[in-house]
Amino acid sequence: MKSDDKQSSHFPAPPFAEQPQKAPGLASRMEPTPDHGETRYQGHGRLSGKRALITGGDSGIGRAVAIAFAREGADVAINYLPQEEEDAKEVVALIEAEGRKAVALPGDLRDETFCQQLVDNAQSQLGGLDIVVNNAGRQQHCESIEQLSTEDFDATFKTNVYAPFWVTKAALKYLQSGAVIINTASVQAYEPSDILLDYAQTKACNVAFTKALAKQLGKRNIRVNAVAPGPYWTPLQPSGGQPQEKVKSFGKSAPLGRPGQPVEIAPLYVLLASDECSYASGQVWCSDGGTGTL
């Protein structure tokens, strides 16, 4: 990030306005608009020549990672739901503005066949695959287990647990020695909220998946790590991830007194993806505004 950037205390802090959206939500309709690094992030060539696939790359953390990767020299394929095309087009333009190749691959990760096709298409259009970021997630709050339907429970697990498994499994036929897999977990894996029962379970699965897979793939020199965000200002929150009353005060309880902006976590993904971090595997790196969850 630029050395002359505003201090982090100048990022937006609550209270925020109520801003309900239908899931999956769009960053362009949030107030304030999340900072994904569109003007803030400056690259240093750390991923020069790399080719990356990022799920959930249209908005939120995935968008910030896509922008950062491109500015670090990588070509990037992003996956997103068709309903998120508006946000995805902006990301593609930002990647291409850096002189990097951008590949847009819309589709629903809850389908195993699509996940396999997604990886094949990313590899084909990028000319190879070096980095896989399993970032797409589903979060819908529910006050009681008695109100949590099997349909919703299944949708959360298919998006957050099955999809990373399917994508990673499909990618392994292309990933060579030195490749990197990064999963987006959450502090919810360690300090689950009562209204995020299913989501928290899936994030605990992501942590176990990361640690076990790192042991499996170490002999192939493929590193596997995870990032565990705390409260970050993304479309996941106002589109059902939190009640609107909590959206208004989102991030206030963090010691920094505000939610993180996606640009603030992207450097963790960059470092984990880079050759500079070649001995880190099986790790979960947290960014939670000072709570010290991990």
Name the β-bridge partners of 276.
none
CA torsion sign, 257 to 199 to 179 to 80? Answer: negative
The arrangement of strands across the sheet holding 51-55 comes to: 102-106, 75-80, 51-55, 131-134, 180-184, 223-229, 284-287
Query: Which two three-digit tokens encode residue 224?
Result: 């596997």
Amino acid at 249: S
Point out the catalytic residue in the list 162, 199, 232, 269.
199
Cβ atoms of 240 and 140 within 8 Å: the answer is yes
Instruction: Give the separation between CA 60 and CA 9, rounded to whole angstroms.
Output: 20
| SS3 of residue 45 by DSSP | coil
Give φ, ψ of 167 to 5 degrees.
-65, -45
Query: Catalytic: 174?
Result: no
Instruction: Give the separation between CA 20 and CA 80, rounded to whole angstroms.
Output: 20
Residues with catalytic annotation? 199
